[in-house]
Each structure stands twice: as C-alpha cells, then as structure tokens.
C-alpha cells in the first residue's frame, strides 16, 4: 500500500487527524508505539472544555510558585527531584504570564476553541457519534463568597468572548442542578453548553473504527528519529526506515523528542494527571463538576464516576505518586457525602504541556513535509477535531480556518 501520509500517534489527536485526512481523499497510515488510545486519551475526564480559554500562566501566577514546592500533594506541584530540570520551562511559563503574552494566548485559545467546537459537531455527524455524547453542562463550584468573587474576572473574560453561563448564589439553587453536594459550596457557575463523551477511550476507538472501515491502517512501530529529503519524510524505526510524502507528529508527550531530531527545540513538559474511576452506582451525577479551588473534577464515565485532575509537572520518567489520586478521592468524598469510594481503579497519564497553554500546530522549521500536532495539555480531547481540520488544511495547501502563527513550532 502506498501512503500519502503517515500519522505518528494513535491518541485522540492522531486518530482525528487521520480520519479527517482520509475523509478528504488521502491514503493514511497511523503508527503508534503501543496502540489506540493507550496513553492520555484513555483515562482523561472525557470533557470537551470549550469554555476553558484562560491559560495556566495567568498574570501574577509566579507568586504562587513557592507553595507548589511546599505542597507535594496540592493541585499544582513540582516534585523536588524535577525542579532543576523544569527550570527552563518555568522561565518561559513566567514570560507567558506577562500581560501581553497572556492576552495573546487568550485570543488564540478562543479562536481554536470556537473552531474546535464547530469541528467536533461535524465529526459527530460524519461518524454517527451522537449516542457517545453527554450534553449535560458543567458546574464550577466555590466555597464561599470570597472564592467566588476572586473568580469573577475569569468569568467576565469568558462573557466578553461570547461564552454563556449562569451564576448560582445559594446551595439550594445549586442543588436544583446537582443534589448531594456539601453546603460549603455556596456559589457556583453553570455552563449549559459544556459537553462530555461517555468514555474518552471508547470515543477514540469509535473514530479509529470509522478510519479502519474506510481503508485506513493502524500499525505498531517505535519511531526514534525523523529526517527529510526533498520530496519525502523518513521515519527511523527499530525495524528500519519508513518514508512518506507527509508525516504528522501527534505523539503527545513524546512528540518533542521527535521534533528535536528535526532540529526543533520545543519546550514541551508533561502534566501528570491522576484519577480514580468508580463503578456504576457510586453517585447520582447529573453534570460535570469542577472543584477549581482544589484542582480536580468529577465526571460521569460509562455510568460510573471519575474523580481526577490536578497538575504534577514531573516529566515522563519519575514514578507515579498515587497519593495524589488518593487525596482527590478523599476530597470528593467530603464534598459529595453520598459518594461510594469503593472498588475504584486508579490511573495516571501524561499530558503534553506548553508554557503558554497553546498547542503546536504547523510545519517543522526545516521542512513542510513534517507537520506537528501536539502540546494540547489537558485540552487534547477538546481541540482534537479542530486540530485535525487545521492539519488537513495545511496538507491540502488551503488557507486554514484560523491563523496559525500563535501555534507555530518556532514561537519560542
């Protein structure tokens, strides 16, 4: 089989991209070192978080950095063994928090979110996937008026970008949307347009099945380097070289290693996210819950409940610290007194994170034969369909739906 394009990575970004390229008439082969949705695409919260337009690097955030180091089980932490290694990334993160960069990141994120929401609806229609969606909104919960008031600037930012939400100011009104919460949560904001998939791994598999049904190919390969010639890209694997006219790098948290072999030094770090999935009957969850002050969410997965989140900037090699998952579950039990925490399955996954919270979408610096589609942080599922369409536009030499300068590999 002759392949027009090879996509490296069988997570949600890679599979979505392969499917969109195939839909436009290209022959596509997907290569992954482990298989379909085996990393972050399997265990995430299943949320399409189109309202999350604000980057992690907000003005003034570096004043909080010492607390991250002192609280290893807090909502955002850096393990002591990783502090020196992450220092260059943290400097870029600090620069991204300056007002000029922050404002530019919000604008770019908003454009990508708007495009991705429309692209997802197109993807759902094309793949007949509506039965895998949960259109139940989201509750962002606050402990007391002080915490709520501190969040209002972020909500005004969302309002200015056309995001619909409803402010709830008593536990009784909150309970009309989600009963069973501790009354300490006196304020909340409900975003009715929020949606989730019933299972992120199953959704990725659904898209992969559609790709395979139309003649696509997904194989296992461990790729360790890339190079380019005039008319083709070459992938160096443990079983020898593979070439194709176009290669898309969508390998998540491992992508920057491949980009480095092309001379692109991309400051990608790894958000290590933890969760626990509880079986059906654990709690009568009606909507996605976000406990922003504690850095975690509670979401419905296949009728059960998934409790997860937090950010641990710890790279790919340190051992998982499942105490983080335990802490989140203990908090969830306090905040949702009827939650049955027994029979849970723990998980840890790697989210590829850029200092400015924007992904890398576009060509390698040295060659248009290699395109990058990675670095989405905790928004990979959210932005997958939109990223797929943008990459397909580049392959087809058509003008992308939104400007891509903000997502360029060379922006750092």
Express each pLDDT in 138-162 by its tens digit: 999 999 999 999 999 999 999 999 9
Is this structure's pTM higher than 0.85?
yes
Residue 233 clears pLDDT 80, i.e. is over it? yes
Q: What is the DSSP letter of 88?
A: H
Residue 3 clears pLDDT 70, i.e. is over it? no
CB 78, CB 313: distance < 8 Å: yes
Tell me the pLDDT of the chain averaged across its residues.
94
Site of tokens 């509506």: 130
Separation between Cα atoms, residue 308 and residue 199, nearest integer Å: 14
181-220 residue pLDDT tens? 999 999 999 999 999 999 999 999 999 999 999 999 999 9
CATH of domain 1-56+97-131+195-268+354-412: 3.50.50.60
Tokens standing for residue 142 = 């606050």
| Torsion from C-alpha of 304, 310, 315, 321, nearest 10 degrees | -70
The proportion of the chain whose per-residue pLDDT surpasses 70, expressed as a percent, equals 98
CB 174, CB 141: distance < 8 Å: yes
22-81 residue pLDDT tens? 999 999 999 999 999 999 999 999 999 999 999 989 998 888 767 766 677 777 788 888
- Other C-beta atoms lying within 10 Å of the C-beta of residue 59: 12
258-297 residue pLDDT tens? 999 999 999 999 989 999 999 999 999 999 999 998 989 9
Separation between Cα atoms, residue 108 and residue 126, nearest integer Å: 27
Helix (H) or strand (E) holding 194, with range, is none
Tell me, what's the pLDDT at 69? Answer: 64
Q: Kindly indicate the confidence band of residue 1, based on its pLDDT and cuts at 50, 70 and 90.
A: very low
């Amino acid at each position: 089989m002759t392949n027009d394009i090879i996509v490296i990575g069988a997570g949600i970004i890679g599979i979505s991209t392969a499917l969109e390229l195939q839909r436009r008439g290209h022959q596509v082969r997907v290569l992954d070192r482990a298989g379909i949705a085996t990393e972050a695409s399997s265990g995430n919260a299943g949320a399409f978080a189109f309202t999350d337009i604000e980057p992690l690097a907000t003005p003034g955030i570096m004043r909080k950095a010492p607390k991250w180091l002192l609280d290893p089980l807090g909502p955002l932490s850096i393990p002591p063994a990783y502090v020196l290694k992450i220092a260059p990334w943290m400097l870029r993160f600090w620069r991204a928090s300056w007002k000029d960069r922050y404002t530019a990141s919000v604008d770019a994120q908003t454009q990508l979110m708007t495009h991705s929401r429309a692209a997802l609806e197109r993807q759902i229609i094309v793949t007949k996937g509506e039965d895998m969606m949960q259109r139940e909104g989201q509750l962002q919960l606050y402990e007391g008026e002080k915490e709520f008031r501190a969040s209002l600037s972020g909500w005004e930012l969302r309002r200015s970008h056309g995001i619909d939400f409803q402010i709830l100011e008593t536990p009784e009104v909150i309970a009309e949307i989600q009963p069973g919460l501790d009354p300490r949560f006196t304020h909340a904001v409900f975003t009715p347009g929020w949606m989730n998939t019933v299972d992120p791994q199953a959704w990725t598999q659904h898209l992969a099945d559609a790709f395979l049904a139309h003649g696509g190919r997904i194989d296992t390969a461990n790729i360790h380097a890339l190079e380019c010639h005039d008319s083709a890209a070459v992938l160096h694997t443990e079983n020898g070289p593979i070439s194709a006219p176009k290669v898309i790098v969508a390998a998540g948290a491992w992508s920057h290693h491949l980009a480095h072999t092309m001379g692109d030094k991309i400051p990608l770090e790894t958000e290590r996210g933890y969760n626990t999935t509880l079986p059906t009957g654990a709690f009568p969850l009606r909507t996605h819950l976000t406990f922003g002050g504690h850095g975690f969410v509670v979401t419905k997965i296949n009728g059960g409940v998934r409790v997860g989140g937090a950010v641990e900037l710890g790279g790919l090699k340190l051992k998982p610290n499942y105490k983080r998952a335990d802490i989140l579950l203990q908090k969830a039990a306090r905040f949702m007194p009827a939650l049955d925490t027994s029979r849970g399955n723990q998980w840890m996954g790697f989210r590829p994170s850029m200092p400015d919270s924007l992904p890398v979408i576009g060509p390698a610096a040295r060659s248009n034969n290699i395109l990058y589609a990675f670095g989405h942080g905790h928004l990979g599922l959210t932005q997958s369909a939109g990223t797929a369409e943008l990459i397909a536009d580049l392959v087809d030499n058509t003008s992308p739906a939104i400007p891509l300068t903000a997502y360029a590999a060379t922006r750092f």
